Structure 1
Amino acid sequence: MDAFQKEIDERTNLTASNKFELLLFRLGSAGGGDIGELFGINVFKIREIVPMLPITTAAGTKPPLLGMVNIRGQVISVIDLPAVTGCTPKTGLNILLITEYARNTQAFAVESVEEIVRLDWSQVLSAEASAGGDLVTSIARLDTNVDGGRLVQVLDVEQILDLISPVRQSLDHSHAGELKSLIKPGAVVLAADDSKVARALIEEGLHALGVPCIMTRSGKEAWEKLQSLGAEAQREGKQIADKVALLLTDLEMPEMDGFTLTRNVKADQRYKSIPVVIHSSLSGSANEDHVRSVGADGYVAKFAIDELAATLRKTLLR
């Protein structure tokens, strides 16, 4: 038990150095090759890995949903991940990745699991700046010192889940006037998220609340935008609070994660007064404790616009 707890603590502490661990897996080939492309998922989102179990197909189940499995009394939906990505597994669907995203538990059926690798977020590039497809949020470079080194596609799981079961946002409109009154005229919420669907939901929600925002695709992009706004405020003889009312950030992002972004903001005398709220699909008390340890002012799990609005209001009133 002590060794197991030490391993958990070690993985949690990776975030202090902008590092993380990626589980590598294969889904089969999209073009008829012998070896399928490598895909990855953050280890923090994996609850467990189990061999394929008997699947119960409910009436009306449509691809890419395969059905349901029973794991220790919990009924979990199974998603055919190769079908989502257009891959064909040569040896079948052999493994279930039990994952936790945005308050939900689901199983992804994959062909095989390869290994766990430890990476720096600087090794991960936004797929929007490369040739990544719509379902790929970022590209991880495993062998950075080797020409032709391996590349791993990190799937936009939030996009995949939204395709299967679209997020429906309901809003208590009483929040709208409250939040708007707490933000200085001309100031914005600066938001960072690497998922296209997450950015769209955040932007739509903040717009419904009457809150102006600037969306960025990574912690690095948000940090650079904050510095640009800070320089603009200085030239105009204003405070940073006249430009940025609050920073809303995801945790997992290419180049710079949300933990590092938060530490950068709180360690800089120019920006440390800006409230930071973590908005993440990574759930669990360990993550929430670590959020507090890096100096964030609030935490809210994705995606519930009313809870986001309530958290923003609480943070801005401090």
Structure 2
Amino acid sequence: MKSVQQEVDERTNLTGTNQFELLLFRLGGDARGDRSELYGINVFKIREIVAMPELTAVAGAHPNLLGVVNLRGQIISVIDLPALIGCTPKTGLNIMLVTEFARSTQAFAVEAVEEIVRLEWSQVLSAEASGVGGMITSIARLEAPGEPTRLAQVLDVEQILRQIMPDSSVEADPETIGPKVILKPGSVILAADDSFVARALIEAGFDAMGVQWVMTKTGKEAWEKLQSIASAAEAEGKTVQDKVALVLTDLEMPEMDGFTLTRNIKQNPRYAGIPVVIHSSLSGATNEDHVKSVGADAYVAKFVAEELAATIRKVLNA
């Protein structure tokens, strides 16, 4: 039997292979109680899974905020995920998923937890590219020998949190973001993030910094865009370094994650000298160690525009 440490080590090492683990759960059926779709969240975001405790209602709170719970001395907001998504639990809100990301701790009430599955990021498709979106960033294909393919919807937790608990402090303010970031004339920052909300915040931050940017939705799209820019630059008798000043990437993305994107850039001499900054809601020493192992130049947790700007300035000036 594996020890807890072995399981943690194995899960952590997945970041080097473009793999991850997805916790699958159900929220209930549609308005008539029919069907019960699978949803998923990256295991790295889960702090713990507990039976639904007694909650304290909060006066004047968002209608999809069930209340707060005192969990070992920490007051945590609990979001009614089925109500937010539009599902009706048949058996009630039985499980609470306590999550840690984007500098905060919160919990989601769900009907049932299914299992943890290990996937290649190539098995995960962008929701926007698939013609859907809303509150999901991607759709995972769950394939097993002899069984029909199942689909799991990966929730855009950044958008959900912003809808339930708006935080004005994440807005980019030209007055507080500091001096303009100076790029080489004609160059841009190439960015990748699969969350619509995150992209909007990053783009607003770039505008406040006074930089030109190119935004992509996945690591694969960013990698292909970088290759395209490099080919166009070479056709002009220039280098890709003349066109791309820095790459900013999220970690969790369909098709290709930020670790793989960073490794591809750092291991290819064609892109030597292009700094890579990882900008992620996945925080903690373990992820920061992996950032160093793939050669990224810096890591900054989402989302404080001033910290993002300061990190970009520091890396460009290094």
User: Structure 1 residues 124 and 144, CA, compared in 2 at 3 Å: closer, same or farther?
Assistant: farther
Q: Which residue of 1 aligns with 2:103?
A: 103
1:218 Cα shift?
A: 0.2
1:280-313 CA-partner distances (Å, limit 9, x unpaired): 0001111111111110000000010000000001
Q: What does 1:150-189 align with in structure 2 at a 5 Å threshold?
A: 150-168=150-168, 169-171=171-173, 173=175, 177-180=179-182, 183-189=183-189
Q: Which amino acid aligns with 2:68?
A: M
2:174 touches 2:208 (CA, 8 Å); kept in 1?
no
1:83-113 CA-partner distances (Å, limit 9, x unpaired): 1100110000000000012000000000000
Alpha-carbon distance in structure 2 between the residues aligned to 1:233 and 1:145: 45
Partner secondary structure for residue 214 of structure 1: strand
1:61 Cα shift?
A: 2.2
**TM-score, reference length from structure 2:** 0.95
Choose 235-244 or 214-223, whichever is displaced more: 235-244
CA RMSD in angstroms comes to 1.6
Alpha-carbon distance in structure 1 between the residues aligned to 2:131 and 2:240: 36
1:259 touches 1:291 (CA, 8 Å); kept in 2?
yes
Q: Which amino acid aligns with 1:209?
A: M
1:132 touches 1:139 (CA, 8 Å); kept in 2?
no
1:52 touches 1:95 (CA, 8 Å); kept in 2?
yes
1:31 Cα shift?
A: 4.7
Q: Which amino acid aligns with 2:50?
A: V
Q: Which runs of 5+ in 1 are unaligned?
A: none
1:183-214 CA-partner distances (Å, limit 9, x unpaired): 11110000000000000100011011101110
2:16 touches 2:259 (CA, 8 Å); kept in 1?
yes
Q: Which residue of 1 aligns with 2:227?
A: 227
1:147 Cα shift?
A: 8.4
Alpha-carbon distance in structure 2 between the residues aligned to 1:316 and 1:281: 22
Q: Which residue of 2 aligns with 1:306?
A: 306
Q: Which residue of 2 aligns with 1:4?
A: 4
Alpha-carbon distance in structure 2 between the residues aligned to 1:145 and 1:32: 33
Q: Which residue of 1 aligns with 2:25?
A: 25
User: Structure 1 residues 70 and 222, CA, compared in 2 at 3 Å: closer, same or farther?
Assistant: same
Alpha-carbon distance in structure 2 between the residues aligned to 1:62 and 1:202: 26
Q: Which amino acid aligns with 2:54?
A: P
Alpha-carbon distance in structure 2 between the residues aligned to 1:232 and 1:72: 56
Alpha-carbon distance in structure 1 between the residues aligned to 2:14 and 2:257: 11
- Tell me the percent identity: 67
**TM-score, reference length from structure 1:** 0.95
Q: Which runs of 5+ in 2 are unaligned?
A: none
1:270 Cα shift?
A: 0.5
Choose 235-244 or 111-120, whichever is displaced more: 235-244
1:142 touches 1:152 (CA, 8 Å); kept in 2?
yes
Partner secondary structure for residue 309 of structure 1: helix
Q: Which residue of 2 aligns with 1:283?
A: 283
Q: What does 1:39-188 align with in structure 2 at a 5 Å threshold?
A: 39-143=39-143, 148-168=148-168, 169-171=171-173, 173=175, 177-180=179-182, 183-188=183-188
Alpha-carbon distance in structure 1 between the residues aligned to 2:131 and 2:239: 39
Alpha-carbon distance in structure 1 between the residues aligned to 2:163 and 2:12: 30
Q: Which residue of 2 aligns with 1:205?
A: 205
Partner secondary structure for residue 269 of structure 2: coil
2:96 touches 2:107 (CA, 8 Å); kept in 1?
yes
1:222-261 CA-partner distances (Å, limit 9, x unpaired): 0000000000110011121211000000000000000000
Q: Which amino acid aligns with 1:241?
A: Q
Partner secondary structure for residue 310 of structure 1: helix
1:130 Cα shift?
A: 1.5
User: Structure 1 residues 269 and 146, CA, compared in 2 at 3 Å: closer, same or farther?
Assistant: farther
Residues matched between the structures, number: 315
1:177 touches 1:210 (CA, 8 Å); kept in 2?
no
Alpha-carbon distance in structure 2 between the residues aligned to 1:292 and 1:44: 18
Do residues 256 (structure 1) and 256 (structure 2) align?
Answer: yes
